[in-house]
Amino acid sequence: MTVNIQQLSLAHVLVVGDVMLDRYWYGAVDRISPEAPVPVVRITREENRLGGCANVAYNVVSLGGKASLLSVVGDDEASHLLEDLVAKTGIAPHLGRDSQLKTTVKLRIIGRQQQLLRVDFENTPQNEVLASQTDQFLQLLPTHNVVLFSDYGKGGLAHVSQMIAAARAAGKAVLIDPKGSDYSRYAGATCITPNRAELEQVIGKWSTEAELVQKAHALRQELKLDALLLTRSEEGMTLFDAQGELTVSAQAREVFDVTGAGDTVIATLATLVAAGLSLRDAMPLANKAGGVVVGKFGTATVSYEELMA
């Protein structure tokens, strides 16, 4: 099923979760350090990109939808860089500020066209700031078709259960990119989108497809989800819902970088659902979007033209 750009322009997605700054330092590697057996990288270029749920929101607007971004940042250089980047995208920002918080930064050092090292800077937001975020969520809810929670396990979704309940009571579809081993906090959502490793943390490993089907449906019913979408890398993805299972094959292409691929999949799914498609109709296009973005370097987005090509 296809969707036109006019339909997508009516899609309003509220993205909530852990925002972060993705930094890339590119350099030349000419020698090994005399101090330790590690390469010396001479930095020649720096680049900053939206990361975490900010990248999810950017994927929504890149497809032609409208995205509001609700998150918490610190009062530091990274937060100001993030705000500047968001301002250039068309995302509607609603960023709470916590002076005690260190804005999450993932710094990747790149040499010889490969990632040599990643350095993370982070801590957890204060409860008072998160409580005020919940109030703002309730104010934003009526003007959006779909709510998308992007959980990176950084503490920004401490009140996710209450927000899911409020969104569902308001008749909104709720899509979640989950994290951790306790999925009970996501109970009542429309759909969650774990990858293989994330789902194994919750239901354990499976040795056959039949065992996966049984375990996935059991989890879906336990959490009262409409659907569970399992992203399976080279095996494509499988949707488990009340109708059964639907699997689409991976789009065959060279994989350059899987960073942010899950962001693109759930952002595409949310945008298409907000535009009026069912999860089953949206899923093949979300799979295609994931196939496009892994051919790009770093956190990236997919345009409407690329999706419909």
Residues whose CB is less than 8 angstroms from the CB of residue 5 and which lie 6 or more positions away in sequence, other chains included: 64, 304
**Residue 197, SS3?**
helix
In a domain? residue 266:
yes
81 in any annotated domain: yes
Those residues whose C-beta lies under 8 Å from the C-beta of residue 84, and which sit 6 or more positions away, are none
Specify if 118 maps to a domain.
no
Q: What is the DSSP string of 127-184?
A: HHHHHHHHHHHHHHGGG-SEEEEE--SSSTTTTHHHHHHHHHHTT-EEEEE--SS-GG
Q: Catalytic annotation on 263?
A: yes
Q: Identify which of 93, 156, 96 has the alpha carbon closest to the alpha carbon of residue 123.
A: 156
pLDDT at 260: 73
Q: Is residue 42 part of a domain?
A: no
Q: What is the pLDDT of residue 3?
A: 87
Instruction: Assign residue 194 the CATH number of its domain.
Output: 3.40.1190.20
Closest CA to 72 of 101, 92, 50: 101
Q: Which of 75, 257, 263, 281 is catalytic?
A: 263
Mean pLDDT for back-to-back runs of 10 residues, the chain (309 residues): 88 97 96 96 97 96 97 96 97 94 95 92 83 92 98 91 98 97 97 96 96 98 98 91 95 68 94 97 94 84 90
**In this predicted structure, what is the pLDDT of residue 294?**
86
Residue 171 lies in a domain: yes
> In which domain, by residue range, is 149 found?
5-20+51-103+124-308
271 within a domain of the structure (yes/no): yes
Q: pTM score, two decimals?
A: 0.94
The phi-psi region of residue 64 (left if phi > 0; otherwise alpha if psi is between -120 and 50; otherwise beta) is left
Distances (CA, A) of 126 to 71, 130, 263: 12, 7, 25
pLDDT at 256: 67
Helix intervals (H) in 204-294: 209-222, 261-274, 279-293
Opening angle at CA 208, ends 203 and 209, nearest 5: 85
Length of the chain: 309
- Phi then psi for residue 273, to 5 deg, are -65, -40
> CA–CA separation, 181 vs 197, rounded Å?
11
Is 154 inside any structural domain?
yes
Residue found by looking up tokens 């239901």 in the block: 203
Joined together, the tokens standing for residue 267 give 């952002």
Q: Of 135, 165, 179, 126, whose CA–CA distance to 17 is shortest?
A: 179
What pLDDT is stored for residue 132 in this prediction?
84
**Which among 145, 149, 152 is positioned nearest to 260, based on CA atoms?**
152
Q: How far is 36 from 198, CA to CA, in rounded Å?
A: 35
Dump the DSSP string for 210-229.
HHHHHHHHHHHHHTT-SEEE
Domain count across the chain? 1
**Residue 71 within a domain:** yes
Place of tokens 């390469």: 39
The angle that helices 53-62 and 77-87 make with each other, rounded to 10 degrees, is 10
CA separation for the pair 118, 99 (Å, rounded):
25
